[in-house]
């Protein structure tokens, strides 16, 4: 296995920043040429760690360097903040005990409450199980090995970076993702578009067991990001057991999991000056938790999956679609006319929960 030192990778990134004479295509080839042999065993999928911190150096051609810092405490708490080289926040999102927050730069820099409630940890990429699935469907392949920060990594090639819909790589469009063999976290991401290196996101520090102090996921908010009563504003209501009994579809927890809570997320869809008023969009979220593992059951207003989702057979002669996502994959299906989405990185657990979905006889429509 060839050692790829952080210093060398940073030097390559510096060359992108300074627009040296080598082209993006040559730099992409140089990075690929540093890889070690293809490891046996395919894509590693280690047990998920409970918490981690990671810092990335992000380089893009003709763009100032940015620094991304993440602190994650699975399954619900996350901080993902990107800074300029001068240390100013350029973007950020936090999920914590009091809800989900985003950083806004206008009219002046501030944190705004996006919505109250409990949500999957923002910024928590879980690429390893998704890439293992993608490899099974011909959408990714292992191309080599490397070391980042002294840690053994398996390098997997797919089409786009974390955040894009997973698709098969081509000769000129691909992303090489360096997975830490021990934790499954992404330690390097090299994105090539039309044969040119367009972005590298390289870990400069990684701690799989960070100290997390009180207030780590709390921000000083100046109010809601979207004013109440305006389009896009959201009200989140926790549901009681008596409310859950009236949901159209529900399920018992899969083995090892427990129901952590259910919330009704109601989003205002009205548009100022519109001739007619749209009814609020109501989505139910049920959280099933097993340590760091989370499955979200969503029903109500569920947006359709992207083109290219994979048709799959489900228990009880049902069918649905699987969308492979490097954050959390999901299954879409319909039960008694009700759209349902099951989201989480563990496909086996998703299939187990899909087999437990049932129409509820007491249902009288979603609670809102």
The residues near 3 (Cβ < 8 Å, ≥ 6 apart) are 146, 147
Q: What angle do CA 211, 212, 216 make, to 5 degrees?
A: 150
Instruction: Please classify residue 215 by burial: count the beta carbons closer than 10 Å to its beta carbon, then call 0-12 exposed, 13-18 middle and 19+ buried.
Output: exposed
Residue 139 is classified by DSSP as S
Q: Which domains does the chain have, with CATH numbers?
A: 6-207 (2.50.20.10), 228-359 (2.60.120)
- What is the model's pTM? 0.85
Q: How far apart (Å, rounded) are the C-alpha atoms in residues 365 and 358?
A: 14
Banded pLDDT at 212 (limits 50, 70, 90): very high
* Rounded mean pLDDT, 302-306: 86
What CA–CA distance (Å, rounded) separates 338 from 82? Answer: 39
Q: Is the peptide bond before 75 cis (omega within 30 degrees of 0)?
A: yes
Helix (H) or strand (E) holding 101: strand 99-104
- For the ranges 140-144, 266-270, 334-338, which has the lowest average pLDDT? 266-270
C-beta neighbour count of 314 within 10 angstroms: 17
Q: What is the pLDDT of residue 332?
A: 95
Q: Distance (Å, rounded) from C-alpha 94 to C-alpha 72?
A: 10
Q: How far apart are CA 216 and CA 55, in angstroms?
A: 16
Buried b (16+ CB within 10 A) or exposed e, 241-279: eeebeebbbbbebbeebebeebbbbbbbebeeeeeeeee
Are 235 and 244 a contacting pair, CB within 8 Å?
no
Q: What is the pLDDT of residues 178-189, one digit of tens each?
A: 999 999 999 999
Per-residue confidence band for 63, with pLDDT thresholds at 50, 70 and 90: very high
Q: Give residue 366's pLDDT band: very low, low, confident or very high (50, 70, 90).
A: very low
Q: 194 with 172: CB under 8 angstroms?
A: yes
What is the tens place of the pLDDT at every residue in 225-269?
Answer: 776 666 677 788 899 999 999 999 999 999 999 999 999 988 776
| 302 token code pair | 């569920």
| pLDDT at residue 187, rounded to an integer | 98
Taking a C-beta distance cutoff of 8 angstroms, is the pair 140, 157 a contact? yes
Q: What is the pLDDT of residue 26?
A: 60
Q: In angstroms, what is the C-alpha Rg of the chain?
A: 22
């Amino acid at each position: 296995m060839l050692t790829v030192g952080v210093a060398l990778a940073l030097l390559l990134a510096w060359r992108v920043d300074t627009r040296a004479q080598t082209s993006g295509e040559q730099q992409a080839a140089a990075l690929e040429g540093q890889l070690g042999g293809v490891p046996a065993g395919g894509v590693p999928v280690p047990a998920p760690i409970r918490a981690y911190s990671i810092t990335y150096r992000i380089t893009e051609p003709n763009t100032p360097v940015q620094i991304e810092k993440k602190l994650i405490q699975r399954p619900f708490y996350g901080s993902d903040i990107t800074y300029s080289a001068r240390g100013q926040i350029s973007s950020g999102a936090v999920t914590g005990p009091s809800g989900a927050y985003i950083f806004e730069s206008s009219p002046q820099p501030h944190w705004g409450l996006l919505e109250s409630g409990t949500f999957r940890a923002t910024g928590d990429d879980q690429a390893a199980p998704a890439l293992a699935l993608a490899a099974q469907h011909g959408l990714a392949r292992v191309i080599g090995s490397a070391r980042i920060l002294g840690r053994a990594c398996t390098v997997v090639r797919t089409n786009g970076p974390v955040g894009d819909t997973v698709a098969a790589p081509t000769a000129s469009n691909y992303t090489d993702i360096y997975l830490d063999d021990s934790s499954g976290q992404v330690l390097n991401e090299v994105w090539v578009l039309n044969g040119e290196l367009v972005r590298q996101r390289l870990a400069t520090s990684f701690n799989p067991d960070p100290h997390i102090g009180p207030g780590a996921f709390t921000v000083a908010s100046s109010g809601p990001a979207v004013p109440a009563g305006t389009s896009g504003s959201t009200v989140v209501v926790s549901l009681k057991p008596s409310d859950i009994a009236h949901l159209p579809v529900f399920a018992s927890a899969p083995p090892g999991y427990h129901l952590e809570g259910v919330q009704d997320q109601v989003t205002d869809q009205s548009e100022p000056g519109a001739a007619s008023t749209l009814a609020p969009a109501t989505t139910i979220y049920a959280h099933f938790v097993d340590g760091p593992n989370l499955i979200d059951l969503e029903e109500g207003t569920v947006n359709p999956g992207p083109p290219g989702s994979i048709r799959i057979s489900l228990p009880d002669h049902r069918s649905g679609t699987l969308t492979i996502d490097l954050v959390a994959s999901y299954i879409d299906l319909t039960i008694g006319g009700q759209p349902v989405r099951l989201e989480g990185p563990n496909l086996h657990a998703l299939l187990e929960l899909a087999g437990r979905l049932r129409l509820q006889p007491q249902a009288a429509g979603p609670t809102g």
